[in-house]
Chains A and B, each alone.
Chain A
Amino acid sequence: MFKSMMKSRLFWPILVLLLILIINLFFDRSFLSIEMRNGHLTGSLIDILNRGAPLILISIGMTLVIATKGIDLSVGSVIAMSGAIGAMTVASTEGTGLGPLFMAIGLSLLICALVGGWNGLLVSRVGVQPIVATLILMVAGRGIAQLITGGQITTVYYDPYSFIGGGYLLSLPFSVFIVTFVFLVAVLLTRKTALGLFIESVGSNPDASRLAGINSKNIMLMVYLFSGFCAGVGGLILSSNVMSADGNNAGLWFELDAILAVVIGGTSLMGGRFYLMGTVIGALIIQSLTTTIYSIGVPAETNLVVKAIVVLIVCLLQSPEFRRKVFGFGKVKRTGEQKEREGVSLS
């Protein structure tokens, strides 16, 4: 039984997550306890879920993009744009009417989906490499976000706006419900319909998929659109958390964290396979790492060193060459075709 557990893709990520939580327990005995306070559940675990919500969302979108052998570098900028649009829509509003709230949500999600679709068009129709196509928006998007906010940090004084990221429903943070909803939709669409298979097939070989009758181009367009949408939701949560929009710093480094979460979750950057649950755990690992580093009292900036080491270890573990050299597995045979596939770099 233990062996079958070991074989599961989720085994290592879950183990790492548990390990981080246990390390926390040494520094803070009450780390795992969850209390009811003012009708809200509070505790470090809830906090990790709540703060990790944007990253989980964005990583879900990123997983599908990476599954098609692509990458979306623009999510950080899309977060900034989404927050800027949302905050600017309600910036001059006060009171508690819900009209402006839905207006803000609708507008920013629509634009973020469009922006994601733009990436998708460049990749699927113009045929630009994903890393380059999304680089354009990564550079320009932050400029656009600053253009929207006028280069300043826009503060929101409209109370309902805080509900998106800071509200509670059934004594749980509302953002947790958003994440659960998006996750369920993604899982249902990809695992209960043929869509997931199509995505994996496009990721392994777009040309063969097209010849097999799959509309590769539209599948690619769709995953980038979905990634843009997810980044939009994440951006709204982040901006609502701080009740402001900052075109310059909102969502900084998120693309990297999201890619990291996807890779930790077991999805290979070579495309063709994806594990949504793994991604969620990967994102939770990153969030708990951040929380741990804060709670242990190590300077927050060392986070980057830890992340760098984690990325390297995970990548090395995924590399067939490394596994063969270190663990001496004789299983990995490198055929010419496989070698060629590995040699193709992402850039």
Chain B
Amino acid sequence: MINRLSLDYKQLPLVATITLFVLMFSFGSLRYTGFLSTQVFLNLFIDNAFLIVIAVGMTFVILSGGIDLSVGSVIALTSMVAASLTMEAQLSPWIVIPISLLVGTVLGVMQGALIHFYNLQPFIVTLAGMFLARGLSYVISVETISIDHPFFSYMANSRIPLPGDNFISISVVIALTVVVIAIFLAHFTNFGRTVYAIGGSEQSAMLMGLPVARTKILIYTLSGFCASLAGLIFTFYMLSGYGLHANGMELDTIAAVVIGGTLLTGGAGYVAGSVVGVLILGVIQTIIVFEGTLSSWWTKIAIGVLLLLFIVLQRVIVMRSEKKQGNG
């Protein structure tokens, strides 16, 4: 009996998320002609590939009970580094890509180390990281740097055909690979279990002898790496580097993870849920585009309302489970 309840408590938000996605997609399909097509569905992935990648990294951070506000700025910094190395230093993409990926990874290691060793709050450390990354991308250049390089154009324009005249982009393949690896990491490795344990109770995790220090730093490193990878995908998408790229993206990411059913207190949630969360944000945008007369700010209001609904749902679930524990 108790076993069944604890299962519900963990999975209810995920079930709610998937139901919501199906409902919204059906709503769109009934209301607009041309909405119900495989390509519209695939476009959700193509347009949000970078968001999926950062949401995956952020899921681990939030699962551990932390938060990473620096991801949006890391995207901007990565796009700037990639653009300036390619266009101004004329380096080959095979050198540019590893360097760009290192940007976020190194920042992530630094943030994780500060958070763990000096017991600083993740919120304030990643806030500083956010300022730093955006500031540094302006130090590289205040102007937009457009990228004109065969490799980047190839990554941006090539389409991978799927049966039925549909296609996806290379970015989608990268994003889905990241998702698969992340699901494996979260559910089938020691690292993943330690993340959940830290989110449940850091002190218990430490007392159990789990490698809390290493895991915490790894979590932020992973999130930084994901942000850099997302930055590269974003660069393929925009074909430019700019300090204002992905402004406020960290909020969209957190929203996607929360809507995807991960508890913000940590310890419960699924990587797959965050992917559905991103898709829900994508559906909102698609519906607004199909509607035509609705202005873009309705996206923000809709995301706010959804956030509210899911957060209240989370509270209810947590309070009920606390009550159950109290009775038991």
Contacts and interface: CB of A to CB of B under 8 A. Distances in A.
Interface of A: 71, 126-129, 131-133, 135-144, 146-147, 151, 247, 256, 259, 263, 269, 299, 301-309, 311-312, 315-316, 319-322, 339-340, 342-343, 345-347
Interface string B115-128: 00111111111011
> From DSSP, what is the main secondary structure of chain B's interface residues?
helix
A136 B138 contact: no
Contact of B297 (A147, A309, A311, A321): A147
A269 B139 CA distance: 30
B315 A343 contact: no
Interface in B279-328: 295-301, 303-305, 307-308, 311-312, 315, 319
B230 interface: no
Nearest to A151: B295
B120 A343 contact: no
Contacts of B297: 142-144, 146-147, 151, 247
Nearest to A339: B203
Contact of A311 (B62, B67, B131): B131
B136 interface: yes
Interface string B175-215: 00000000000000000000000000011000000000000
B114 interface: yes
A318 B124 CA distance: 12
Given A301-B142, A320-B119, A263 B135 contact: no
B122 A347 contact: yes
Contacts of A315: 118, 120, 124-125, 128
A61 B305 CA distance: 25
A299 B303 contact: no
Nearest to B296: A151
A139 B66 contact: no
Contact of A316 (B120, B142, B202, B298): B120
A131 B67 contact: yes
Greatest chain B CB density within 10 A among A269, A306, A307, A312 is at: A312
Nearest to B319: A127
Contacts of A133: 311
Nearest to A318: B120
Given A139-B304, A140-B305, A305-B132, A269 B122 contact: no
A136 B258 CA distance: 11
Contacts of B203: 339-340, 343
B265 interface: yes
A346 B69 CA distance: 13
B251 interface: yes
A162 B297 CA distance: 28
Contacts of A263: 124
A319 B119 contact: yes
B304 A143 contact: yes
B300 A321 contact: no
Given A131-B123, A151-B297, A321-B119, A347 B136 contact: no
B123 A140 contact: no
